[in-house]
């Protein structure tokens, strides 16, 4: 007989169910059942409803988790500042593209055309955008003097092009590669 797992606190149970549900939403979208969630979590279905008042509450928690920074901050901070600027930006574009594409895919499966308002328009969202701009500026670092525009404008254009170039519909099915994004932002499309 295998030993029984340590009981979870209500907060731990909610967090574990949120994580499991988010993984299942990426596959099944809104059609995921509480039975599937319970099986994936290794619990009885009734335990789901002891942690969350309803399936909708659980789905909302999972969607909210999807918009949390997660490991994004760590991945950006791990970009080697000794790399040349272009190489740092290619790594950054790749990281952001992975994040954007995973978010776009989840939103499509959930039938969302934009992030839920309470996530996108909150004070926490504004603070996160400011923190992200700071992180992206840190990747540019001392090479900001190589830019033809102020750093905040460069970051804005970089994020905007990465976002648009990572979205299947906005890009008309022709996604941009990280190299294309960086070369466009650093060098433009014209002849020099």
Residue 121 has pLDDT above 80, yes or no: no
- Joined together, the tokens standing for residue 41 give 């979590």
Q: CA-to-CA distance for 190 and 188, rounded, in angstroms? A: 6
Q: Once rounded to an integer, what is the mean pLDDT over residues 33-60?
A: 93
Residues whose CB is less than 8 angstroms from the CB of residue 145 and which lie 6 or more positions away in sequence, other chains included? none
Nearest Cα neighbor of 152 from 138, 133, 132 is 133
DSSP state of 54: S
Residue 94: C-alpha distances to residues 15, 77, 99, 131, 158 (Å): 28, 14, 9, 19, 12
Residues whose CB is less than 8 angstroms from the CB of residue 134 and which lie 6 or more positions away in sequence, other chains included? none
pLDDT number for residue 10? 85
pLDDT number for residue 125? 77
Domain segments of the chain as ranges: 10-65, 67-187
Class of the CATH domain delimited by 10-65: mainly alpha
How much is the pTM? 0.84
pLDDT number for residue 9? 87
Per-residue pLDDT band at 178 (split at 50, 70, 90)? very high
Q: CA-to-CA distance for 52 and 72, rounded, in angstroms? A: 27
Residue 62 has pLDDT above 50, yes or no: yes
Per-residue pLDDT band at 1 (split at 50, 70, 90)? very low
CA 185 from chain center: how many Å? 22
């Amino acid at each position: 007989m295998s030993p029984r797992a340590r009981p979870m606190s209500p907060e731990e149970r909610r967090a574990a169910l949120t994580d499991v549900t988010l993984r299942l939403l990426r596959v099944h979208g809104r059609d995921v059942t509480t039975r599937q969630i319970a099986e994936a979590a290794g619990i009885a279905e009734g335990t789901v409803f002891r942690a969350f008042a309803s399936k909708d509450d659980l789905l909302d928690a999972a969607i909210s988790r999807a918009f949390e920074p997660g490991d994004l901050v760590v991945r950006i901070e791990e970009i080697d500042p000794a790399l040349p600027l272009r190489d740092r930006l290619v790594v950054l574009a790749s990281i952001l593209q992975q994040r954007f594409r995973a978010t776009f895919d989840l939103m499509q499966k959930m039938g969302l055309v934009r992030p839920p308002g309470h996530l996108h328009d909150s004070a926490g969202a504004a603070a996160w955008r400011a923190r992200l701009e700071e992180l992206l500026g840190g990747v540019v670092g001392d090479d900001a003097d190589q830019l033809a525009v102020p750093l905040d404008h460069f970051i804005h254009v970089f994020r905007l092009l990465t976002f648009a170039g990572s979205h299947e519909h906005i890009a008309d099915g022709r996604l941009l590669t990280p190299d294309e994004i960086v070369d466009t932002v650093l060098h433009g499309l014209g002849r020099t």
